């Protein structure tokens, strides 16, 4: 069945089709529509799950992780400051090795305040032990939730998964979404088998609560890392199974018109759909360009990036995030992955889309031109913030207004 859904409702449908048992929730813009939709279904008896509203995101993730440890399937969602408020518990839940699925609807972090998206919220969680899937369309949101449960519940992995979509640009955008039947989903995602790893009221045990010295602590932390690395191999296997069940591809890195591409864009999230359009126009103009969009960001698909980028001329890495004092996070991670490659391409770093700031078609064309010039000279351009003279005039105007209000000239 095909329905017109927002990204938020696609996430809710993913949880519904996964037949989740427990929904600890707390509202925050722009994620609230997810829990409102789930609450409506529970109220109407269309979703057989227990929904509990907690008093904060910290409590919400605590309840979610603890419930997942009892052997039930759990879903929850948050955004921005809410994800950071729960950050302490993200590390705990990952350390418990429980298969929770958490949807984050990306929104820029304060201060200054914005309700528009960028990726600093979700990338702040990249070292927590949660695996990360990033979506560009509403269909991918639903599909990613289903795949996330298979990945999280695989006994070779047993790590929580974070599914990310961009606030407003995807959370409230309606797109056609294919809804698989419950039987189709059950064939791909059977009931959660917790094995022996579950709490029971009549059999009290403790799990991951001991205070450890450096040696044992190092061992268990590294086991989490090894499980995440293993998840990369498991992801490829499950992606093939997903494609066979639903007739839709799901690769760790989407490659678009890359076969003979000399210059490539690399970026994550819904803004990559703008890059696809720019690639088409540049191809029409005779330029050999392409797009790589990692859907899987943790574990970082370094080996696949090396395969796809070896021998290319240049790459424009577009980060919708900013690691203050360093630059773009995706750029630095990609540079590290390509460092051992003898024929690595020239990398150019661009920061764009912060706080939902649009990236125009003209800016994609300009980035491709800058990378082409860098390839000709052999010199990578310095990192650059995408920002126009008109935007600077707007900022100066606001500063003048603020100065006037304070009695300054």
Cα→Cα distances 336→37, 149, 258, 327, Å: 42, 30, 22, 14
Largest CA distance in the chain: 73
Contact 306, 337 (CB under 8 A): yes
Q: Specify the pTM.
A: 0.96
Q: CATH fold of 254-393, please?
A: Rossmann fold (3.40.50)
Closest among 60, 95, 101 to 207, alpha carbons compared? 95
What distances in angstroms separate CA 242 from CA 131, 149, 246, 334, 409, one per listed residue? 18, 12, 6, 27, 63
Distance CA 293, CA 311 (A): 18
- pLDDT value of residue 109: 97
Q: What is the pLDDT along the chain (409 residues), one digit of tens a residue?
A: 999 999 999 999 999 999 999 999 999 999 999 999 999 999 999 999 999 999 999 999 999 999 999 999 999 999 999 999 999 999 999 999 999 999 999 999 999 999 999 999 999 999 999 999 999 999 999 999 999 999 999 999 999 999 999 999 999 999 999 999 999 999 999 999 887 666 777 777 776 667 889 999 999 999 999 999 999 999 999 999 999 999 998 899 999 999 999 999 999 999 999 999 999 999 999 999 999 999 999 999 999 999 999 999 999 999 999 999 999 999 999 999 999 999 899 999 999 999 999 999 999 999 999 999 999 999 999 999 999 999 999 999 999 999 865 545 4
Q: What does the alpha-carbon distance between residue 161 and residue 129 come to, in Å, rounded to a whole number?
A: 9
| Domain span(s) for CATH 3.40.50.920 in the chain | 254-393
Non-local CB neighbours of 188 within 8 Å, separated by 6+ positions: 146, 150, 241, 242, 245, 246
Q: How many C-beta atoms surround the C-beta of residue 136 within 10 A?
A: 24
Write the pLDDT tens digit of every residue in 16-61: 999 999 999 999 999 999 999 999 999 999 999 999 999 999 999 9
Beta strands at 101-106 and 75-78: parallel, antiparallel or unpaired: parallel
Return the residue matching tokens 């990236």.
359
Phi, psi of 394, deg, nearest 5: -65, -45
Q: Give the angle 195-208-94 at the CA atoms, nearest 5°.
A: 75
8 Å CB contact between 61 and 98: no
Among residues 41, 11, 17, 248, which one has the least CA distance to residue 138?
11
Can you list the alpha helix ranges (DSSP code H) found in 159-205? 182-188
* Residues 7/34, Cβ–Cβ less than 8 Å: no
Structurally, what CATH architecture does the domain formed by 2-246 represent? 3-Layer(aba) Sandwich (3.40)
Inter-CA distances, 347 with 191, 302, 310, 334, Å? 45, 15, 12, 9
Determine the Cα–Cα distance for residues 354 and 324; give it in Å rounded to an integer. 13
Strands 161-166 and 175-178: unpaired
- The C-alpha R_g of the chain, in whole angstroms, comes to 22
pLDDT given at position 197: 67
pLDDT at 250 (0 to 100): 85
> Which part of the chain is CATH 3.40.50.970?
2-246
């Amino acid at each position: 069945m095909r329905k017109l859904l927002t990204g938020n409702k696609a996430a809710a449908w993913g949880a519904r089709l996964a037949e989740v048992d427990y929904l600890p929730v707390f509202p925050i813009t722009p994620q609230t529509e997810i829990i409102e939709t789930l609450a409506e279904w529970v109220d109407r008896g269309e979703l057989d799950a227990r929904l509990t509203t907690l008093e904060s995101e910290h409590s919400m993730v605590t309840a979610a992780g603890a419930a997942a440890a009892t052997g039930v399937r759990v879903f929850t969602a948050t955004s921005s400051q809410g994800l950071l408020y729960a950050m302490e518990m993200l590390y705990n839940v990952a350390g418990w090795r429980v298969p929770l699925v958490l949807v984050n609807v990306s929104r820029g972090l304060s201060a200054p305040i914005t309700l528009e998206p960028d990726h600093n919220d979700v990338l702040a969680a990249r070292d927590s032990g949660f695996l990360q899937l990033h979506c560009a369309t509403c269909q991918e949101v639903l599909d990613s939730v289903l795949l996330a449960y298979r990945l999280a519940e695989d006994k070779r992995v047993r790590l929580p998964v974070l599914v990310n979509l961009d606030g407003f640009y995807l959370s409230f955008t309606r797109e056609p979404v294919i809804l698989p039947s419950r039987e189709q989903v059950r064939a791909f995602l059977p009931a959660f088998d917790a094995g022996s790893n579950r709490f029971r009221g009549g059999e009290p045990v403790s799990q991951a609560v001991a205070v450890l010295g450096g040696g044992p602590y190092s061992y268990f932390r590294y086991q989490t890392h090894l499980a995440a690395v293993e998840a990369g191999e498991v992801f490829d296997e499950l992606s093939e199974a997903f494609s066979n069940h639903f007739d839709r591809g799901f690769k760790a890195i989407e490659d678009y018109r890359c076969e003979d591409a000399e210059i490539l864009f690399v970026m994550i999230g819904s803004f990559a759909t703008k890059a696809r359009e720019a690639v088409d126009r540049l191809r029409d103009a005779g330029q050999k360009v392409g797009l790589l969009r990692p859907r899987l960001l943790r574990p970082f698909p370094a080996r696949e990036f090396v395969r796809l980028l070896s021998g290319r001329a240049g790459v424009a890495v577009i980060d919708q995030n900013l690691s203050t004092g360093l630059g773009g996070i995706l750029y630095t991670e990609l540079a590290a992955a390509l460092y051992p490659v003898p024929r690595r391409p020239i990398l150019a770093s661009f920061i764009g889309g912060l706080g939902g700031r649009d990236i125009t078609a003209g800016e994609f064309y300009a980035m491709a031109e800058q990378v082409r010039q860098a390839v000709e000279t052999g010199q990578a351009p310095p990192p650059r913030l995408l920002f126009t003279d008109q935007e600077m005039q707007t900022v100066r105007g606001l500063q003048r207004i603020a100065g006037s209000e304070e009695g300054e000239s």
